[in-house]
Amino acid sequence: MDAISLDPNVHVMESKDLDFYYGDSQALFGVSMKIPRNYVTALIGPSGCGKSTYLRCLNRMNDLIDRSRMVGSISFGGEEINDPALDVFRLRQKVGMVFQKYNPFPKSIYENVIYGLRIAGIKSKSILDETVERSLQRAALWDEVKDRLNGTALGLSGGQMQRLCIARAIANNPEVLLMDEPASALDPRSTARIEELITELRGKYTIVIVTHNMQQATRVSDFTGYFYEGVLKEHGTTEQIFTNPKEKHTEDYISGRFG
């Protein structure tokens, strides 16, 4: 991927010595990672390794889970997101999330896109209309739905629903997009479209994607973090991780010896 205009040394988020617990069970152990601005970072590893838990830590989505707690530091734009005074709603506007299973609201396509803006109290029709068109354009969905914006979002195909969810996240003008296996519930054609979309969005947003598909990681990401049993075993450029891993454990996983 062409990254001439981007600087991989500029980080939008960084975790330091991050531990995470579900009740008494520890899920993450001392995870320290820098996430470069406007690049795509993939998180890989076997099921249950902590990659989705780490992803949800980045916008405090795990706060919704009873008896969960985070120890350590995550900074976003130089601000500690674990600060009790932090406005979590504002954080989630700036660090948006797209889930594994597409989850459009039982509303119109139009209202799905501007849901966050409605909550924020924005009422200007011109702003809402402009946001809908811009967000759907960026999510590569505008041409397919522009004549039925007032129709139900639940009438879309699975791939269209997932792109609508991406448009909904984009509408909040985020800096970071978190994607938790965004194509795992989709057919191969829709998966390819989501991958194309990630490539198109790269450079406009910082994207962190959890994926079980290592080929997908090589296709869409610039950087890769490999997790195993709650530990970040290795983190580097995707090319380095997949062609010249520093850790034998990483090499064994990407070569299919386990996982």
Residue the block writes with tokens 């386990």 = 258
pLDDT at 3: 42
Residue 5 pLDDT exceeds 90: no
What is the C-alpha separation between 245 and 247, in angstroms, rounded? Answer: 6
Q: Coil, helix or strand for 102?
A: coil
9 pLDDT band, cuts 50/70/90, is confident
pLDDT at 30: 98
pLDDT at 2: 42
**Per-residue pLDDT reduced to its tens digit, 139-174:** 999 999 999 999 999 999 999 999 999 999 999 999
Angle made by CA atoms 146, 131, 11, in degrees to the nearest 5: 125
259 pLDDT band, cuts 50/70/90, is low
Which is higher by pLDDT, 258 or 76?
A: 76
**Per-residue pLDDT reduced to its tens digit, 196-245:** 999 999 999 999 999 999 999 999 999 999 999 999 999 999 999 999 99
Tokens of 35: 């996430």
Contact 9, 37 (CB under 8 A): no
Residue 173 CB-density burial (10 A; 0-12 exposed, 13-18 middle, 19+ buried):
middle
Count Cα neighbours of 162 within 13 Å in the Cβ-side half-sphere.
23
**Per-residue pLDDT reduced to its tens digit, 105-132:** 999 999 999 999 999 899 999 999 999 9
**Per-residue pLDDT reduced to its tens digit, 38-89:** 999 999 999 999 999 999 999 999 998 999 999 999 999 889 999 989 999 8
User: What number is the average pLDDT over the span 5-32?
Assistant: 92
Residue the block writes with tokens 């969905």 = 141
User: What number is the average pLDDT over the span 170-191?
Assistant: 93
Q: Provide, rounded to the nearest whole percent, the portion of the chain with pLDDT above 90.
A: 88
Backbone angles phi, psi at 182, to 5 degrees: -65, -15
pLDDT at 185: 84
Tokens of 218: 């090589």
Residue 97 pLDDT exceeds 90: yes
Give the chain's mean pLDDT: 93
